[in-house]
Chains A and B, each alone.
Chain A
Amino acid sequence: MTAAIRLGLLGAPNSGKTTLFNALTGLRAKVGNYPGVTVERREAAVSLGARAAVVIDLPGTYSLEPLSSDEEVVTRVLAGELSAAPDALVVVADACSLERSLPFVAQVLLRERPTCLVLTMTDELAARGGSLDLPRLERALGIPVLGVVGHRGRGLDALVRLLGEPEGWSRPVLLPPRDPLERSHWADSVFASVVGERPGAHRLTDAIDRWVLHPVAGTLLFAAVMVTFFQLIFAWAAPAMDAIDAGIGAGAAWLHAALPPGLLVDFLADGLVAGVGAVIAFLPQIVLLFGLLYLLEDVGYMARAAFVVDRVMGRVGLEGRAFVALLSSYACAVPGIMATRTIPSPRDRLVTILVAPLMTCSARLPVYALLIGAFVPAVPVAGPLGLQGLVLLALYLLGGVSALVVAAVLERTLLPGAAIPFYLELPSYRMPSAKLWLSQVWGSAWAFVRRAGTIILTVSVVLWVLLQFPRSEAPAGASPEQASRTALEHSFAGTAGRAIEPLIAPLGFDWKIGVGLLASLAAREVIVATLAQIYASSDDETSLRAAIRADVDPRTGRPVFDPPAVAALLVFFVFALQCLSTIAIMARETNTWRWPAFAFGYLLALAYTASFVTYRVVQALTL
């Protein structure tokens, strides 16, 4: 048996390349990253007849003259710089837009590797009344040409036979011209010689687009789809997440009951199981978000959504496709940041990732609810709107507006690389394939568990250690609440909370809030449980609200949570990146710790400055 042949799949976005890859490889694809770049690397080992092969799905590109890092990956893989160079190249092109793809085919031919051309969606070409002379195209190009219908599996057997024998592929006698202009003329003449009938308009697409892109109906549809996204992550994922929460709680309780009390069971139940819970708690959101995202992508709506909203995002230097990611981040930044994969420009994608944590995620709600419930009077302002609701709305708006402002600033200042031009292909609407859809959703859920989950789990365990050690004995006769307060006070985190007090005093925060802020590095909502522990109160909100309202600084005799400090704390939570899951996913998606570190730093600086200003302003107003 010979060594596995490496086959590189090349083609434009929307060419049906990924459908073909999935049809050839099923669920066997290994997803990783190319060294040093953020671009996803997808390859799968398959057997083609008797031959073992590795199929590599290269990022979609319209040209081999790279403008973006995605496209650069293609040229670097072809040159053998990022991995072993492919032995043979498979160019995938949509049969309906062969005319546009031929110059690309010419660019690939100039690489002088064994090459074949696979034309997808030949059924659509026929349905639109178009025809191509494939044998003549083979002769004109000098390479094997095969027509398939990827999502129906038609032509796949012939394709497998062809791909198993790259040694037998014919090679062009004469290479296409190297000069781009001459090459385009060459492509035009090849096309003219093989085209029978040009495909007519895709009537269904035209009919649907009349409504989907209609100024009024299209905008309403866009709003409805975005509201659905939001609901999906915010509300519909909640029952599954609650069930996971309950399951984790039950698991921990079972461990406590089954094992003798001590450090081991504490670690297993409160450190490890809780950490695992923190990972899988994201899965409902991720599966739902990607379920809808891929469905809309496969149908052809995502490009239309980007088209509708591009103008708005263009104002801050981003593009339409960033909108979905930012909106999803209103529920949770983790799936939101994963959704940035649909943004082709690496620079826009990075900016979107960096500002996503500013969108008011659902983990901030418990914190806002506690503080607003305790300190903002429930007085009506106008009609059904109360002061509490208005404060909440203001916090949401502050987050969203800040994200757009920061995005505009980052686009204009810090980030490397020139802007790449905006262009967006509107593919024809297609019936999605359930198999492809399932493999896409499964792929992203699994990638999250494997890549971000490991980091989240590790850091949760480390934080647990910091909150538990060094151990201290509670005084005899202390209630469980007091014992847990003593343990926290003497832990590393408790010590650190006191140590940072001078730093946070200008914001009006005392050491107890400091401990809460440190603990909430794991996840924002953890500050509620931590404050409950510090105030030795039970977790229920009414008693905790009463406890923090009653707390008085022994040195000044003033309440710890006075209005300026509460306002400053709320503002702090609008900005600070207190979420290790977000940091972990940022590290995975950007393939470096540099950008999460930058995001953490700039958001902390922003949070500190804004809190300080808020504290001073509210102090001046209330004196």
Chain B
Amino acid sequence: MNVTLPSSRTQPLSRLAPGQCAVVKVLDGSSPIGRRLFDLGFRPGTRLRVIRRAPLGDPTTYELRGSRFCLRRSEAERVGVALLPGA
């Protein structure tokens, strides 16, 4: 039997709400934008936390590997993540 828990389902990073933690599952590294996200640390296996959205709703700040980066929704959509429980 193959049970997929909701928390382990892969979804775009842009869907996460502030405060949620997730681990990166998928990143399309073929485009220049994907490669740069990879270089910034958004690569499979990386744990990250959503910090907050800008007052106008976009961009959003993420904490990963000791740094904080803001990405716009259009960039965050390229990163597939699985929600981690807790936090």
Contact = CB atoms under 8 A, between A and B. Distances in A.
B55 A425 contact: no
Contacts of B37: 421, 423
Contacts of B39: 62-63, 65, 103-104
B54 A426 contact: no
Interface in B27-58: 29, 32-33, 35-41, 43, 45, 52, 54-58
A418 interface: yes
Given A421-B33, A425-B68, 11 more contacts: A62-B36, A97-B67, A98-B66, A99-B65, A100-B64, A213-B61, A216-B55, A307-B70, A423-B36, A423-B37, A424-B59
A426 B69 contact: yes
A199 interface: yes
Given A308-B55, A418-B32, A423 B75 contact: yes
Contact of A311 (B41, B57, B69, B71): B57
Given A100-B41, A422-B71, A307 B61 contact: yes
16 contacts: A63-B35, A67-B32, A67-B36, A98-B66, A100-B66, A215-B55, A216-B55, A307-B70, A308-B56, A420-B32, A421-B75, A422-B59, A422-B75, A423-B36, A425-B70, A426-B69
Q: What 4 A-B pairs have minimum CB-CB distances, sorted nearest first? A: A311-B56, A63-B39, A97-B66, A421-B33
B72 interface: yes
Nearest to B58: A311
Nearest to A180: B38
A310 interface: yes
Contacts of B75: 421-423
Contact of B54 (A99, A199, A213): A213
A484 interface: no
B66 A213 contact: no
A104 B56 CA distance: 33
Given A311-B56, A311-B58, A425 B32 contact: no
Given A63-B39, A180-B29, A423-B75, A96 B66 contact: yes
B54 A311 contact: yes
A101 to B, nearest CB: 9
Contacts of B56: 308, 310-312
Nearest to A219: B55
Interface residues of A, number: 39
Nearest to B55: A215
A218 interface: yes
Contact of B70 (A98, A199, A216, A426): A426
- For the complex, would chain B's binding face be called helix, strand, loop or mixed by DSSP majority? mixed
A423 B32 CA distance: 13
Interface of B: 29, 32-33, 35-41, 43, 45, 52, 54-59, 61, 64-72, 75
Contacts of B72: 310, 314, 422
A100 B70 contact: no
A47 interface: no
A198 B66 contact: yes
Contact of A426 (B29, B57, B58, B68): B68
Contacts of A425: 67-70
Chain B CB count within 10 A is highest, among A184, A199, A209, A420, for A184
Contacts of B61: 213, 307, 426
A423 B70 contact: yes
B55 A424 contact: no
B71 to A, nearest CB: 6
A179 to B, nearest CB: 11
Contacts of A426: 61, 68-70
Which among B43, B55, B65, B72 has the highest number of chain A CB atoms within 10 Å? B55
A530 to B, nearest CB: 45
Contacts of B64: 100
A65 B40 CA distance: 12
Interface string A83-127: 000000000000011111001100000000000000000000000
B54 A308 contact: yes
Contacts of B65: 97, 99-100
Interface string A43-65: 00000000000000000001101
Interface string A189-219: 0000000001100000000010001111011
